[in-house]
Structure 1
């Protein structure tokens, strides 16, 4: 038996329960992990609330990220042994492979031996944020040192990962956040420029920073009215990568900016990296190299004990955090 986080109906954080569950042995090609720390993501809150791209089957587990020690190895798995310190690449389905519990089982190809210098908390905060940012900026946009890149929702874990990756390749990251409250922290965490979108003219400030050439790459999880000032400041042939839909307002299609500048507006899910073995291996290499060199350093906003999972979800939905929320087991 192991304690697992589950929910029996959609709702707020209060629907989460810690339950004792019998965990089956890993099947062929799978690895069971004794979990030490969990990373929280917006996706888990959306699944719990009933508004995620995946549908929960009740009672449902949840969770996309974990770090811990290999406990059991299924048949056909090579390269791992009990006792190995590992972390987990987010699976395609967190209903099928839920991470949030004392024990978690995953396909072996999603289990990674991370650098031993990482704490359990840091290791649990690696893969969702860096894979998401890597897939958008490096795999798709081919970001270079000549580029300006706009990162909206910049204080999120993916936003901070994008800033670090931009700096890793020599690009210029422009962080966009709602107010100036987090401006100094974002500058200290690597943003070359910070724009408070509720307090400043976003398009004007972007044009001031990037000049006549404009911004080639935009990474956005928000959508809504922000599309118009963002595309107004983009360069000819630029690409806007959308990986979320946080705005409750309609998202306009900026037709004339798209036509006149031949822009690409591209929807993106991290699943397209995870489901492609070659792209996933390239991503793992890039991220592990960055972790070893120190260019990539997970930022932990706050840590909660396992028994406080409801409080952790409430903090996640407060939008007060700067970086990743982690739960220790």
Structure 2
């Protein structure tokens, strides 16, 4: 049956700046898609990311190009060949999942054949700042089960030690966002072990990680920017021990589930991540998070105001959105 697709840019101011090695974010710019069919609506959200050559304008243009096909009834399977992986495809794919669930009166978990999302530990992010400020931020959430430390190449050992001292019990992920080089990764191994770091995420730039094929890390290394879809795994599996599935990279829940399953089949560890976004981006990602060793879905926690009924944080434990928010 023909449907109607609408897409728009939405901006969510942040409660405080989100600072990583490649810049500072003060608002989340997202693309919200709604697909309506016979009075039933499905919603999805994508976050265009400049690191991948995306912008709000380019994402909206990409959606416009496939609008005729979607409105003519193209399904999720067809969408995979109509669009490349990225934020635009993610928004449409997740809207199609939501629409299908509402049309048949079942939730997305039933459609997947998996348990419904439950509350789970999800990383709270400590952004880059002076070590004493990072320690203060960590002290405020020291009882959280998992913290993610954003660092750069400017004395990351001190930053990490400061957070560890303030939060001695939390599991730690360290994320340099591609800002390190081979020498720094090798030189940081003892400091990572000393601080009890559980995971090092994408330390070096994409295209400068070939040497990892012969490197034996003391702490598992997770591919983020280096992995987008299952097609990347032939190379990634030789260099990394864990992969970070983000729906904005994979281009939707359909491809995200495919990537997660393929990674598991190769014996790789699994992480679920997100961009800074509203809960409309996070609700679909929960279906990958249930499979994951590490969950990092605190994007909406940074917003000044999230969408009503979205996910909630309880001391580092993520509570799923209200019934009916997405996919239910």
Normalising by the smaller structure, the TM-score range is 0.3 to 0.5
Q: Relative contact order (C-alpha < 8 Å, sep 6+): which is higher?
A: 2
- Larger helix proportion of the pair: 2
Question: TM-score, normalized by length of structure 1?
Answer: 0.34
